[in-house]
Amino acid sequence: MLSLRERMPFHFIKLRKIWYIFSSVLIIPGLIFLFSQGLQLGIDFTGGNLMDLRFNQATSVEQVREVLSGCGLGDSSIQQSGETDFIIRTSELSEDQNINLVQALKANFGEFTILRNERVGPIMGRELLNKALGALVVASILMIFYISWRFEFKQGLAAVLGLLHNVLFVLGAFSIFQLEVDSAFVAAILTIIGYSINDTIVIFDRIRENMLNKKKGEILEDVINMSLWQTLARSINTVLTVVMVLVALLLLGGTTIHNMVLALLIGVVCGAYTSICIASPLWYEMKKLETRPKTKAARV
């Protein structure tokens, strides 16, 4: 029976430069697009019109979107809150466009009740963005404190750098393909951060256990590599379970949550890769720096 060490096809830590290059190839184009053309912001950030409607008959999102498309508003956000209640967010409409939209809806669905019809400014979007960035900063600081208390500061720093890697990749992908970013996207980013840190902590916990039981003469990079292989099956099985659900939502969930689910799908897959191939190698790089001054001092 072969031991785990003999069954390892390759060494994660010795191949870390390949992971760094691969991540650079994925992230740098996204950063270029992000700084050159930015993100396609939805009305949550740019402002627009918000309509809260109650129809007299059961209606589907697809039927409402078909009417909006006929008015040149096919990209609008449509949220169904019941069989007959809908919240529609469109780009900013003039008075004539507003009247034409109401008439088109009446022509297709008959009389309905307008519960709310108002113009939404971009101030709400800025406030949402500021709160999301604040939540991200606070979460990162708390994670560093927690991981430093449970493991060590360098592992906390490596974990947060891995989370930054995930966020930049998702933002870059949405910038390259100019997918709309709204409040649901912000929620998806925060969810990705929570999911990714969990996998990273599991790996760091296994590394700590193996460090306590380290054999004489066993070097750090071999301990980390063995820990990654020991947790690899768990990481892959977990991410595949989540991916199955997200793919089903992507195919069957409708256009309203399409971009949010796509962001989650990209982030979850990237998070699994980052936990294995980026966070642990980054921590190893930091640990290597601890021994360099001692080595130089010994030589002197």
Other beta carbons within 10 angstroms of residue 252's beta carbon come to 7
E runs forming strands in the chain = 40-41, 48-55, 77-80, 85-90, 112-120, 180-181
Q: How far apart are CA 275 and CA 56, in angstroms?
A: 51
pLDDT value, residue 93: 86
Q: How far apart are CA 103 and CA 95, in angstroms?
A: 12
pLDDT value, residue 242: 95
Q: Mean pLDDT in each 10-residue stretch from start to end of the chain (300 residues)?
A: 58 94 95 92 80 89 90 84 84 87 91 85 68 82 89 92 94 92 87 90 93 85 92 93 95 83 96 94 91 51
pLDDT value, residue 291: 66
Strand order in the sheet with 85-90: 77-80, 85-90, 48-55, 112-120
Pick the closest to residue 90 from 140, 82, 100, 81 (CA basis): 100
Q: How far apart are CA 126 and CA 35, in angstroms?
A: 19
Q: How far apart are CA 109 and CA 103, in angstroms?
A: 10
The residue whose two tokens read 């640990």 is: 287
What are the structure tokens assigned to 140, written together? 């990162």
Q: Name all domains of the chain by residue range, CATH numbers in brackets.
A: 4-40+124-293 (1.20.1640.10), 48-120 (3.30.70.3400)
pLDDT tens for 140-185 read 899 889 988 989 999 999 999 999 999 999 999 999 998 988 888 8
Other beta carbons within 10 angstroms of residue 277's beta carbon come to 22
